[in-house]
Amino acid sequence: MTAVIAGRVKFLRLTLIADAVVTGGNGIVYLVFADPVSTLLGPDAGLLRGIGAFLLVYGVAVGLLARRPAISPAATTAVIALNVVWPLASVVAVVAGALGLTTAGAIWAVAQALVVAGFAGAQIAGLRRL
């Protein structure tokens, strides 16, 4: 029985770690390369730095959650909620023509929205397995 529970926790832990790595990495890129990313994607470099700082802090928080011996269902639910809101906001930004997105920026926004939605789906599945 313990092996089954450990396997269920491991799946959720892996989804949270993947989320943390991708999100934190994206945040670092936005922080360090804000000017060239701004040119490529469209949003102002200052806005990208702000988003990058948020993503880096969020990625670290998700990583810390994943490393806890017992993963908090409440904290995981909060991560899932943010991972549902982010893709919705991204699609709204693209459809509304907000943020001055270039064509590459719109494609990137939709692509990363799909990735984040995938994390949310995997985390929901992992939480249900507990």
Kindly report the average pLDDT of the chain as a whole number: 95
Taken in order 23, 29, 31, 34, the sign of the CA dihedral is negative
Residue type, 109: A
Going by pLDDT thresholds of 50, 70 and 90, the confidence category of residue 4 is: very low
Residue position matching structure tokens 């700082």: 53
Domain that holds residue 41: 2-129
Coil, helix or strand at residue 68: coil
Query: ∠ CA 53-80-57 to the nearest 5 degrees?
Result: 15
The model's pLDDT over 61-78, given as tens digits with 9 standing for 90+, comes to 999 999 999 999 999 999
Report, as an integer, the average pLDDT of 99-110.
97
Determine what percent of the chain is predicted with pLDDT higher than 90: 92
Instruction: Output the CA angle 25-103-30, nearest 5 degrees.
Output: 20
pLDDT average, residue stretch 10-34: 98
Q: Give dist(CA 98, CA 93) in Å, integer.
A: 5
pTM, to two decimals: 0.91
Burial of 27 (0-12, 13-18, 19+ CB in 10 A): buried
For 70-102, where are the alpha helices, taking DSSP H only?
73-96
Number of domains in the chain: 1
Q: Would you place residue 8 in the very low, low, confident or very high pLDDT band (cuts 50, 70, 90)?
A: confident
